Structure 1
Amino acid sequence: MFDLNFTPESESQLLARAEAVAGWTLGELADALNTEVPDNLLRHKGWSGQLLERYLGASAGSKPHPDFEALGIELKTIPVNLEGKPLETTFVSVCPLTDIRGLRWEESPVCHKLRAILWIPVLGERQIPLAQRILGMPLLWRPSESEWRALKQDWEEIMERVALGEVESITARHGEVLQLRPKAANSRVLTEGIGPGGAIIQTLPRGFYLKIPFTHALLQRHFHHK
């Protein structure tokens, strides 16, 4: 039906490939790729994203580079409700908690991954069985100047607090568009971080996430302009 060894050589090729399955269910795409659909995502978090990575020919795997390395484009599936509102925040990158002296926004994994994102909405209401969830039209997005400024400002303010040993007091409410949250399968997974006074402490790994109002606004702008 389609080339299973596809590698996109241009943005337009990648976008056309993503548009070709808009309206398909995850079950239909999984069948086409000879992949089994899990019963739910509890033990298979990220499954729909991995399915689309395979179909779209993403190359980066788990490396801290954009998924389509040669194109500099990150892939993000985003579960939405019937009104097109995202159902959850969007993970961007793990946050470094030690050895961060001199780290600048321009060199950060967050910056690299946010330069260009191929968003693929998935109708993800929890009552819809996973195999029946529908893929939406893709959106290739690059931050506007004002979005870029807001992202950079949040990142710098959060990283300053991390550097000052305040990681334990940062909550999901900090940041206008970007937030820092624990990212661990369970609370027994700990990593080193900077504590008060510069002492090394054991703390939960943290990740940067885009807040729902930010992703909702960018989806709305795009689809309402079409």
Structure 2
Amino acid sequence: MPDVNTSTPQTLSDLLKRARAIAGLTLGELASGLGEQPPATLRRDKGWVGRMLEQALGADASTAQAPDFAALGIELKTLPLTPEGRPLESTFVTCVELADPDAISWETSHARQKLARVLFIPILTHRRTPPGERLIGQPLLWTPSPDEEARLRNDWERHMRTIRQGYAHAITAEDGDVLQIRPKGARASSRVWGQGPSGELELIQPRAYYLRPSFTAEIIARSFALSTAS
């Protein structure tokens, strides 16, 4: 396997070169190159795959709100796919800003910052495949098209109208065409400050934005069409 360079990449071409160099490896092989052991299951360590790739590619974000490669303005997202290329699950974007929703617009939102430019790393797997045997695919660099951003913005603004009215708890995973909101927290009892119906802050369950699998499937299809046409 190639040597794993964990220093921070200085250019986009450097980042893409590194991502392509690890494509074709299993996560177990990558872990071995980093001196780590893959877990037997991800049930209690769902963030392991993302952390491994962040380490292997030299992610440098200093805060949870900044893109993973802050100097390049690029967010890293793993994308579990079936061998046929179908997304297996929704893709975590970022936590929802609940405490002061009136101060946020789409242009200044964490969601837009995270989705402005994304490096997707496909992970080819079946749900029951042990983490160490899952295969790293070729990287996909994505910038939303005007239509894609309009769809993301429309969902975000609809969600935020509900949040500003104090009803974040009423948003379900069924809401949103491409960008959904789901509860997020290490435990069901986790709480953060959010705006209630009266306009006062109250403790509510944290929530996060996710891209629907149908939307990431569109991204894959569009990117594949562009690559075969070029």
What SS is found at the alignment partner of 1:113? Answer: helix
Q: Which residue of 2 aligns with 1:67?
A: 68
What SS is found at the alignment partner of 2:102? Answer: coil
Quick check: 1:23 aligned with 2:24?
A: yes
Report the CA distance between 1:3 and its aligned residue.
5.2
Q: Which residue of 2 aligns with 1:143?
A: 144
The within-5 A match list for 1:1-226 is 1-2=2-3, 4-60=5-61, 62-225=63-226, 226=228
Report the CA distance between 1:201 and its aligned residue.
3.1
RMSD: 1.4
Gaps of 5+ in 2: none
Q: Is the 8 A contact 2:4 2:34 kept in 1?
A: no
Displacement over 6 Å in runs of 4+: none
Which amino acid in the other structure matches residue 8 of structure 1?
Answer: P
Task: Please report the TM-score for the alignment, with normalisation by the length of structure 2.
Answer: 0.93
In the alignment, the residues of structure 2 paired with residue 192 and residue 68 of structure 1 have an alpha-carbon distance, to the nearest angstrom, of 29
Per-residue CA deviations over 1:113-160 (Å, capped at 9, x if unaligned) read: 100000000013122111110001100100000001111111111011
Which amino acid in the other structure matches residue 123 of structure 1?
Answer: L
Which amino acid in the other structure matches residue 53 of structure 2?
Answer: L
Overall identity of the aligned pairs, in %: 45
Q: Is the 8 A contact 1:95 1:206 kept in 2?
A: yes
Count of aligned residue pairs for this structure pair: 226
Per-residue CA deviations over 1:22-73 (Å, capped at 9, x if unaligned) read: 1110011111111111111112111111111111110015531000000000
In the alignment, the residues of structure 2 paired with residue 11 and residue 32 of structure 1 have an alpha-carbon distance, to the nearest angstrom, of 23
Which amino acid in the other structure matches residue 143 of structure 1?
Answer: P
Q: Is the 8 A contact 1:4 1:33 kept in 2?
A: no
Gaps of 5+ in 1: none
In the alignment, the residues of structure 1 paired with residue 94 and residue 115 of structure 2 have an alpha-carbon distance, to the nearest angstrom, of 10
Q: Is the 8 A contact 1:92 1:208 kept in 2?
A: yes
In the alignment, the residues of structure 2 paired with residue 162 and residue 127 of structure 1 have an alpha-carbon distance, to the nearest angstrom, of 37
